[in-house]
Chain A
Amino acid sequence: QVQLQESGPGLVKPSQTLSLACTVSGGSISSGHNYWCWIRQPAGKGLEWIGCILTRGSTSGSTYYNPSLTSRVTISLDASENQFSLRLTSVTAADTAVYYCARDPGGNGYSNFDSWGQGTLVTVSS
């Protein structure tokens, strides 16, 4: 089972860009058929899918975003660092949340998040 660990600033100013990285250990981020994803959770609220990046042979690098966030989100992959990253632009207080990275091992014929990072709290405030 792979392990995931989020990292990045815990405080971001309004209108600026939120940037987080997720480091994968216990396996190569480039091997197999996986969706590497970001999910967030405001305090006391439910889970919201942000987006994913796919690794699968020639289609590696394809990205999929929540339609409600697609204009502000970019997810990218750095195979040399075994990491994937999230950029969310023009943040407001509504983007304050715990951000999780997670894996969907899409190659198993199902769709589910079987591995999660511990989560990192990002607060948007001046």
Chain B
Amino acid sequence: EIVLTQSPGTLSLSPGERATLSCRASQSVINNYLDWYQQKPGQAPRLLIYGASNRATGVPDRFSGSRSGTDFTLTISRLEPEDLAVYYCQQYGSSGYSFGQGTKLEIK
């Protein structure tokens, strides 16, 4: 089973700043089956990035994803107040799906 470890646990930044969220996989993720979700308080998760670097429909281009080996990164280039949320990475592999523990993004 692939374990996803997200860091940092909490990130506190100001509007306009750049946010970098990390997701490290315990072993290789096949076919770039690594996605990112945004979960705002009281809401269901929303797909942001699929296949490591593809923006989902309607997602602003401030959000981008990248991969380097077993390290995946979600970058939010210019933070806005509505980006307050918990962000999860998720992978699909031979044992099914698994999620990281989440990064909470606070907006100062």
Dominant SS among interface residues on chain A: loop
Whether, in the assembled complex, B101 has its beta carbon less than 8 Å from a beta carbon of chain A, the answer is yes
Which one, B18-26, B42-50, B75-83, is touching chain A?
B42-50
* Chain A contacts for B43, CB-based, 8 A: 118
Q: How many A-B residue pairs have CB under 8 A?
A: 62
Q: Do A112 and B101 contact each other (CB < 8 Å), given the known contacts A49-B96, A65-B96, A100-B44?
A: no
Number of interface residues of B (CB under 8 A): 26
* A118 and B99 within 8 A (CB): no
Task: Tell me the chain B residues, 25-44 only, with Cβ under 8 Å from chain A.
Answer: 31-33, 35, 37, 43-44
Mind listing 17 A-B residue pairs with CB under 8 Å? A47-B37, A47-B45, A49-B97, A51-B96, A64-B96, A65-B96, A66-B96, A67-B1, A67-B96, A111-B33, A111-B97, A113-B35, A113-B37, A113-B45, A116-B45, A117-B44, A118-B44
